[in-house]
Amino acid sequence: MTRPKPSSDAAAGAGIDSAANEDSAKRRQILEGARQVFLTEGFDGASMNDVARVAGVSKGTLYVYFDSKVALFEALVREERQQQAERLCIIYDDDDAELRATLIQFGVNLVEMITRPSNIAQVRTVLAVAPKFPQVGR
């Protein structure tokens, strides 16, 4: 099987085909499958075959969206960071809310987020991969 040639984004160091930049249902399906595989198998134990199987897509479809396992993992880490930032940075529309109460709620949200088992597992996986792929750890 031949892999699609990397897009200009991949050539620029992004490691992701242009199709992966679209917020599509298929891309989300692949990322969810990858999340499950990486959390259970770790980075080294995971394979693109496993991800394709769990995501319910063909290996060819997987490579249309992500040109390598590293690119897939990077995209997954970026998505997780984005979701975490969005959860933490909720803007409260309550004009009557006191600063103290808002800051306390922010702290509670932060502690809940960083102590979630899935977050701890992801951090461990990133730390294990970072020596080989420093760009993932950044």
Domains of the chain: 8-132 (1.10.357.10)
CB 105 within 8 A of CB 113: no
> What totals of helices (H) and strands (E) does the chain contain, helices first?
8, 0
What are the C-alpha distances in Å from 21 to residues 8, 103, 112, 132?
A: 12, 34, 30, 25
Q: What is the pLDDT of residue 17?
A: 52
Confidence grade of residue 6 (pLDDT, cut at 50, 70, 90): very low
Q: What is the pLDDT of residue 1?
A: 41
| pTM more than 0.75 | no
In the chain, what percentage of residues exceed pLDDT 70?
Answer: 79
Please check the confidence at residue 62 and state whether its pLDDT lies above 90. Answer: yes
